[in-house]
Structure 1
């Protein structure tokens, strides 16, 4: 029975998972100093966009700013993929353990590589978050990736262990915490709106921020949960969370489900047992979310009236 890693991979046709033959990394290296990161990225940002001012590239500034943040996001995502592949190898080694010294050495080496990749991923996520703050300050919008989620892993969660089973447990816990930050969820829902005037659009945005500020007063360690739409109410709520440094989770639509996708997302968000559901004007899927929340006795902050106001108060003057 073959016991080496390469033989096991060959038997299972998992050769594409191998991260062997990569250069050894010095795990004594430390992450960049956060203060130095802030100063450096701020200087680069300022110089780059000052260069575009009053040129024919000025209209492209926001797109370039998004790409600047995405540079670090993509690098962190690649490291996350490397960790996942290393985790597969560690899982295989744990399952095929024969107690030999060669096997133990290979397991330790793979865990060491995975930990180094994890430390690099966390450092790159730190660079991304600093750049995302600059993007928020420049554009007024929360930075969102084109696809997938913007997860941030705990900088203190790197698994300082050399035993395979412990690493696998620590990795699973790290991914869980990144996907679901500690705190009490508050679900925000609202669709895309159009307004006849800029003033009305501004008032709508201000009402979203004011409502979320009020909700936050009643929810300690609030985590904002929303649909992750890059336009409309979700984007305004996401910008609020970015500005207030409130953790947020975006539930994207599973397009494979077709018309069922929106209702499935409702179920996922409500399964978190949120403290509140904050509802702004939207479509029938949103109306169903409100109905389901009330059925579960989840308190609904209803702002589906004109410009995101309480519909009952809006109806009173009309009556």
Structure 2
């Protein structure tokens, strides 16, 4: 009795396939051992607290007595409280200062520093990045002194004849929110600049040489070559800056504590007050869940808007700047 070639191939291939799959599975399980400590840490200190927060958001709980189920009452209060709606509006305003302005300034500085050749350029790059590595508390305390009514900023303005514009920047209802936003811009632009400089390094220099041969100037080169190639870096910078803006607490708390009045109050301030001052952990947890979902939605929109598209020049793709 003869066996067909297809049957022989199946008989021969099956043990090899089984050995390959079994060895691959064993390799995968052994690889997990290397990341198990990180996964354990992430699960205990990130996933588990998130689950507890979601559970607590459906209860009225002060942290001491027995929790009382209230259903979705905490979430209803979050969406119907005028103070919280105002705080969300403040967060959206801060997005301009914490995300849009740093990206624009970072793009300008990256484009400038990538073109000029001067002695000590690395030192200047490090100086511009310093705000990003400083503690937020240190930054807040320093700027609180700079922006005080008798601080250096007002002294300089009076010295140059602009004393009529001097004010208590963090104590005025009209200037407090932009002043806090300016601090965030100062902190975040260094991160954006470094990300964009790293992306510019990966762009093929021959693209710029070809553009110059065609008569393109610096602005045209930036728009036609640099910006399309920096799409991934811009996306990452916006995601990091937006997350920082919406969850920002320490800068605002250490400069204005949400004041004057509620002119600089953001959701994170109310979360802190409800959780640690008013002992309303259920309400605080509901606000934290809503804030987390808001961050995920906005980040998802940004990621979708800046995803890699077919209109990116093929030359920029080959350069390695776009992946």
Tell me whether the two structures share a fold, i.e. TM-score over 0.5: no
Q: TM-score, normalised by structure 1?
A: 0.24
Structure with more relative contact order (C-alpha pairs < 8 Å, separation 6 or more) = 2
Give the structure with the larger strand fraction.
Answer: 1
- Scaled by the length of structure 2, the TM-score of the pair is 0.23
Structure with larger Rg: 2
